[in-house]
Amino acid sequence: MSEPSSPNFASAYQQVLNELRLKAREDLAVEIRFESLRRWSEQSQLSVESFIDRFAVEIAHDYLSGFLNWDFCEMLANNMWHAAVVDNPGRTIELGFFEDLFEAFDESEMSNPPENDRRARTLVAEYLAKHIREKP
């Protein structure tokens, strides 16, 4: 899953994030399809797996910094997981760090606000630190 750094990733991340934020303003139930993941990965010049992994790392940083809120990140994690796992015709994607991000928000759903946000922040910070330590 290791690919050379893509100079287009930062631009693709901003475009995707803006696209999703605008859709979320209209309806928090933003639908993400596997075809969207494929399109975004092509924009970033990465494989779908690498795009999802790097996107998850950026979402984690933006969430922990307070730029993105729990509602948006939880929606994003659920819908990206659905696109990558359920809507994926081949079902051959390794989710990498994204799976940890998804699990953090999935587990935090079981708590009531504001505990869900505190729980997610704790888990995301732990998973992100682990991911950074393990990265080659």
Helices within 27-96 (DSSP H only): 34-44, 48-64, 70-81
Is 58 contained in some domain? yes
* Whether residue 35 has pLDDT greater than 80: yes
Is 108 contained in some domain? yes
Is 2 contained in some domain? no
Is 4 contained in some domain? no
Is 39 contained in some domain? yes
Cβ neighbours for 89, distance < 8 A, ≥ 6 positions apart: 34
Domain with 94 in it: 9-134
Is 1 contained in some domain? no
Is 20 contained in some domain? yes
| pLDDT tens-digit series, residues 42-78 | 999 999 999 999 999 999 999 999 999 999 999 999 9
100's enclosing H/E stretch is helix 97-108
Residue type, 112: N
| pLDDT tens-digit series, residues 108-130 | 999 888 899 999 999 999 999 99
Model confidence pTM above 0.75:
yes
Q: In total, how many domains does the chain have?
A: 1
Is 38 contained in some domain? yes
